[in-house]
Amino acid sequence: MKRFLLYAVLVIGAFVSVFPYLLVVLTAFKDRAQLHTTAPWLPGDPMTTANLEKLLGGDFPTFILNTLLMTLALTAGQLVFTTFAAYAFARLRFRGREVLFWLFVATMMVPVAVTVIPLFLIMRQLDLINTWGGLLVPYILGTPYGIFLMRQFFRGLPAGLEEAARIDGAGPLTILLRVLLPLCKPALGTLAIITVISSWNSFMWPLIITSGDETKVITVALAALKVGIGVDYTAIMSGGLIALVPMVVIFIFFQRYIVRSVVLTGLK
Partner 1 sequence: MTADARPLSAATGHRRRGKARRRWHSLHPYVFVAPSLFGVFAFLLLPVLIVFGLSLFDWELLSDPVFVGLDNYVAMAADGTVWSSLGVTVLYVLLCIPLQTVLALALAMLVNQKLRGIKFFRALFVIPWIATPMVLGLVWSWIFDPRDGAINRFLEVFGVTGPAWLSETSLALPAVALVSVWQNTGYNMLFFLAGLQGIPQELHDASSVDGATPRQRFFRVTLPLLNPTMFFVMVTNMIGAFQAFDTIYSMTAGGPSESTTVFNYKIFHTAFREFDFGYAATLSILLFLIILLVTMAQIRFFSKRTTYDLS
- Segment 168 to 227, residues that bind partner 1, using CB under 8 A: 171-173, 176, 197, 200-201, 203-204, 207-208, 218-219, 222-223, 226
How far is it, in rounded angstroms, from Cα 208 to Cα 115?
A: 12
Choose between 52 and 236: whose C-beta lies nearer to partner 1.
236
How far is it, in rounded angstroms, from Cα 246 to Cα 197?
A: 9
Other CB atoms within 10 Å distance of the CB of residue 45: 9
- Are the CB atoms for 240 and 28 separated by under 8 Å? yes
Q: Which of 8, 10, 47, 65 binds partner 1 (CB under 8 A)?
A: 10
Helix (H) or strand (E) holding 251: helix 233-265
Choose between 56 and 166: whose C-beta lies nearer to partner 1.
166
Contact pattern from residue 79 through residue 98 relative to partner 1, giving x for each residue in contact according to CB under 8 A and a dash for the rest: --xx-xx-xxx--xxx--x-
- Are the CB atoms for 149 and 78 separated by under 8 Å? no
Q: Give the nearest distance from C-beta 119 to partner 1 in angstroms.
A: 6
Q: Give the nearest distance from C-beta 57 to partner 1 in angstroms.
A: 21
Q: Give the nearest distance from C-beta 179 to partner 1 in angstroms.
A: 15
Q: Distance from CA of residue 124 to its chain's centroid?
A: 25
Is the torsion defined by CA of 262, 109, 155, 142 positive or negative?
positive
Q: Which of 47, 114, 177, 181 binds partner 1 (CB under 8 A)?
A: 114
* 4 belongs to the binding site for partner 1 (CB under 8 A): no
C-alpha distance from residue 136 to each of 69, 212, 246 (Å): 10, 16, 21
User: Cis omega before residue 186 (within 30°)?
Assistant: no
Contact pattern from residue 120 through residue 139 relative to partner 1, giving x for each residue in contact according to CB under 8 A and a dash for the rest: xxx--------------xxx
Choose between 88 and 192: whose C-beta lies nearer to partner 1.
88
Choose between 54 and 256: whose C-beta lies nearer to partner 1.
256
* 105 belongs to the binding site for partner 1 (CB under 8 A): no
Q: Which of 154, 236, 238, 257 binds partner 1 (CB under 8 A)?
A: 236
The CA-based angle 159-161-166, given to 5 degrees, is 125
* 245 belongs to the binding site for partner 1 (CB under 8 A): no
Q: Give the nearest distance from C-beta 267 to partner 1 in angstroms.
A: 5
Radius of gyration of the chain (CA): 23
Using the 8-state DSSP alphabet, how is residue 143 labeled? -
Restricting to residues 11-50, name those near partner 1 by CB under 8 A: 13-14, 16-21, 23-24, 27, 35-36, 39-41
